[in-house]
Amino acid sequence: MSPDLILDLTEDMSLIGMVAYFLAHSRRCRRLVLGEGKSRANTLLSIALFGSLSIAGTYLGVPVQGAIANTRAIGAVTGGLLGGPVVGIGAGLIGGVHRYLLGGFTALPCALGTVFGGAIAGGVNHLYRGRRLTIPVVFFTALGVELLQRGLVLLMARPFSAALRLESVLGVPMTVANTLGALVFIFILESVKRKEVRVGAALAHKAMEIANGILRCTRNGLDNDAAAQVAKIVFETMPVSAVAITDAEKLLAYVGCGADMTRQGCAINREAVREALSTRRVVVVETKDALTGFPPDLTVGSAVVAPLVFKNRALWTVQFLKEKERDISPLDIEVASGIVQLIATQVGFVEMERQAELASRMELKMLRAQMNPHFLFNTLSTVVVLCRINPERARELLINLSEFLRKSLKTKDDFVTLSQEMECVNAYLAIEKVRFGRKIEVEIRVDPGCLDTRLPTFTIQPLVENAIRHGLMPKEEGGKLLVSVEQRGGETWVTVKDDGVGIPPEKLSDVFTARSMGIGLSNVNERLCKLYGEKYGLQIDCAAGRGTSVTVRIPGERPGAGGIENITGVAM
């Protein structure tokens, strides 16, 4: 083995390694070489690239005893390992045909060895499809290809004695150079790719940190406190000298170098702010002379100003400030743009939530308002009848009605305690007592620990009215009504049960519509579902001729549960 030959092959390998380095640092070339973004055009470009590397390996070779000591195999092997069988065979054909045309007693075996090497490497790529090529796989593939080529030379080149002398001189150096060259080539490409993945992961982590922080501090809208928190989060995450947030005229928040020199309410970068808000585009200020509104001693040389616009309203600008001039990177521009887009999206969500909440509250108030006319209509109809046949009872009924209205209209809240709700129920039952006398027997059982439970107004009274009107009154002899309140599994259960006529099967499926049984049940069920979810709707258990039981579940654990208190047990 000649030291000069080893040195020459090492130089050739180093040149190909340099090519790999430059390819790795060009994103487009790296995607092409690594076989990303498969297409016919990319495949042809890959074949041409690796075929050219194979030809370059031949031209960089050293003539030895009528043959060429070369690194031609690196192009074909790396092409097959990275691009697959098509690229490997294509590159091998280019390099092999070129070698054959150069002539020499080893032209044919060397040409075939190059083609076979590209095909073998492509086959390995196919076997490892979707998996990363490891160093041992690359090493043994390149080594196997070189040993194959050495064998082809010994088998096909004539005279054999010349082939044997040739291999004794360049066999080991070429095997080592081509094997290590393929390893270096692929290692450089893979290392740059892994570095890019790590950098991308770090940037994604930073972006998530910024996004999570911004979502937290802008959840309740945009104000000076939110601006200060956003500026602090961005400054702690991004490699900038300072972060400033302004509205169209003045500074809202400033974090970073010179914070003690910059006061809230002053105007900084006014021209850039106006341009950004008017054009709706990011503005980059690259020189210190173009920066305005900063104290003379503040070392700020460049800035990026990103506008926050929502529904054609100019809200904020987010500014990244750096000490050096012309130091704004594309990453700074992208992050600043992403931050204002994220805040604008969050502002949209906040506004949508507020609109939805207002709509929900208005709808609940409308549902609640339905109850008073519904009940008043029934009671006043009874008063009209009693005025003729029994004025004294009509007078008593009006007194009870006024008491009921006083209690029910006393609060404007959407929620009341169970104790307050039961006062309305008792006032209502007093009215029904005047109307129906002893025809209806009522029993109320309330767990004292549930009296402070808060529930929607007019939840129980409509159920009681429905039980009397549709359950007990159709029975000539009347019946019994039970109202019970107790705790089960951290929830408050309210059950209104009667032994009346029940609900006919044909009406049961339509029970929550206003057409079937008035608006009472449907109203209560709809309000409960809107407030607590579908699973907290009314639960109805009934059988024709055997009565009806309606249960309300109020979520939330209520402390202080005690025994069952029999508040009333009187016949009416």
For position 51, what pLDDT does the model report?
92
For position 408, what pLDDT does the model report?
63
Most confident region among 34-43, 152-161, 207-216, 535-544 by mean pLDDT: 152-161
Return all residues near 57 (Cβ < 8 A) that are at least 6 apart: 12, 16, 70, 71, 72, 73, 74, 75, 95
Same domain, 345 and 397: no
Same domain, 383 and 521: yes
Between 55-69, 356-370, 491-505, 526-540, the lowest mean confidence (pLDDT) is in 356-370
Same domain, 313 and 405: no
For position 366, what pLDDT does the model report?
67
Long-range contacts, stretch 55-61, CB < 8 angstroms, 24+ apart: 55/94, 55/95, 55/98, 56/15, 56/16, 57/12, 57/16, 57/95, 58/95, 58/98, 58/99, 58/102, 60/11, 60/12, 60/15, 61/12
- Rounded Cα distance between 228 and 246, Å, is 10
**If you search the block for the tokens 């100003």, which residue do you land on?**
305
In a domain, 391, yes or no: yes
Same domain, 333 and 286: yes
Same domain, 557 and 517: yes
Are 398 and 380 in contact by the 8 Å Cβ rule? The answer is: no
The average pLDDT across 529-550 equals 85
User: Is residue 562 pLDDT above 50, yes or no?
Assistant: no
- Rounded Cα distance between 432 and 212, Å, is 58
> What distance separates the 2 farthest-apart alpha carbons in the chain?
138
Most confident region among 58-62, 266-270, 417-421, 558-562 by mean pLDDT: 417-421
- Rounded Cα distance between 69 and 92, Å, is 17
Q: For residue 354, what pLDDT band results from cuts at 50, 70 and 90?
A: confident
Q: For residue 569, what pLDDT band results from cuts at 50, 70 and 90?
A: very low
Other CB atoms within a 10 A radius of the CB of residue 157 amount to: 22
Give the residue from 46, 67, 66, 47 showing the smallest Cα distance to 58.
67
For position 559, what pLDDT does the model report?
38
Same domain, 187 and 309: no
Are 53 and 224 in contact by the 8 Å Cβ rule? The answer is: no
User: Is residue 300 pLDDT above 70, yes or no?
Assistant: yes
In a domain, 208, yes or no: no
> What is the DSSP-derived secondary structure letter of residue 409?
S
In a domain, 201, yes or no: no
The number of domains in the chain is 3
Same domain, 326 and 455: no
Q: What does the DSSP assignment read for 152-197?
A: HHHHHSSSHHHHHHHHHHHHHHHHHHHHHHHHHHHHHHHHHHHHHH
Between 4-18, 221-235, 449-463, the lowest mean confidence (pLDDT) is in 4-18
Q: For residue 445, what pLDDT band results from cuts at 50, 70 and 90?
A: very high
In a domain, 363, yes or no: no
Are 95 and 199 in contact by the 8 Å Cβ rule? The answer is: no
Instruction: Give pTM, 2 decimals.
Output: 0.49
In the chain, the percentage of residues whose pLDDT exceeds 70 is: 86
Displacement of CA 125 from its chain's centroid (Å)? 35
Q: Enter the tokens of residue 392.
A: 């004294």
Same domain, 335 and 434: no
Higher pLDDT, 485 or 519: 485
- Rounded Cα distance between 492 and 552, Å, is 8
For position 561, what pLDDT does the model report?
39
Are 220 and 247 in contact by the 8 Å Cβ rule? The answer is: no
Are 472 and 440 in contact by the 8 Å Cβ rule? The answer is: yes
User: Is residue 117 pLDDT above 90, yes or no?
Assistant: yes
Q: Enter the tokens of residue 195.
A: 């570095």
Higher pLDDT, 168 or 371: 168
In a domain, 209, yes or no: no
- Rounded Cα distance between 85 and 416, Å, is 76
In a domain, 62, yes or no: yes
Q: For residue 367, what pLDDT band results from cuts at 50, 70 and 90?
A: low
For position 371, what pLDDT does the model report?
54
The average pLDDT across 50-66 equals 85
User: Is residue 567 pLDDT above 60, yes or no?
Assistant: no
Q: What angle do CA 331, 343, 234 make, to 5 degrees?
A: 50
Instruction: Decide: residue 289, CB within 10 A, 0-12 exposed, 13-18 middle, 19+ buried.
Output: exposed
> What is the DSSP-derived secondary structure letter of residue 129?
T
- Rounded Cα distance between 147 and 140, Å, is 10
243 to each of 212, 341, 396, how far by Cα in Å?
18, 17, 74
User: Is residue 164 pLDDT above 80, yes or no?
Assistant: yes
Same domain, 375 and 351: no
The average pLDDT across 451-466 equals 87
Other CB atoms within a 10 A radius of the CB of residue 116 amount to: 19
| Residues spanned by the domain of 93 | 3-196
In the chain, the percentage of residues whose pLDDT exceeds 90 is: 15
Of 196, 211, 238, which marks where a domain is finished?
196
Same domain, 336 and 380: no
Same domain, 182 and 96: yes
The enclosing domain of 383 has a CATH number of 3.30.565.10
- Rounded Cα distance between 233 and 4, Å, is 61
Q: Enter the tokens of residue 413.
A: 């809240």
Most confident region among 2-16, 363-377, 514-528 by mean pLDDT: 2-16
469 to each of 472, 478, 498, how far by Cα in Å?
6, 11, 11
Between 64-73, 313-322, 361-370, 435-444, the lowest mean confidence (pLDDT) is in 361-370
- Rounded Cα distance between 497 and 466, Å, is 10
Q: Per residue in 341-353, pLDDT tens?
A: 888 887 778 778 7
For position 280, what pLDDT does the model report?
87
Of 323, 358, 393, which marks where a domain is finished?
358
In a domain, 374, yes or no: yes
User: Is residue 156 pLDDT above 90, yes or no?
Assistant: yes
Burial readout 470-481 (b: 16 or more C-beta within 10 A, e: otherwise): bbbbebeebbbb
Higher pLDDT, 465 or 206: 465
For position 86, what pLDDT does the model report?
92
Higher pLDDT, 174 or 362: 174
User: Is residue 120 pLDDT above 90, yes or no?
Assistant: yes
Q: What angle do CA 445, 399, 565 make, to 5 degrees?
A: 10
Q: Is 291 helix (H, G, I), strand (E, B) or coil?
A: coil
Q: For residue 572, what pLDDT band results from cuts at 50, 70 and 90?
A: very low
First-to-last C-alpha distance (Å) of the chain: 120
Same domain, 30 and 87: yes
User: Is residue 36 pLDDT above 80, yes or no?
Assistant: no
Of 358, 380, 413, which marks where a domain is finished?
358
Averaged confidence pLDDT in the chain: 81
- Rounded Cα distance between 77 and 94, Å, is 13
In a domain, 203, yes or no: no
The enclosing domain of 313 has a CATH number of 3.30.450.40
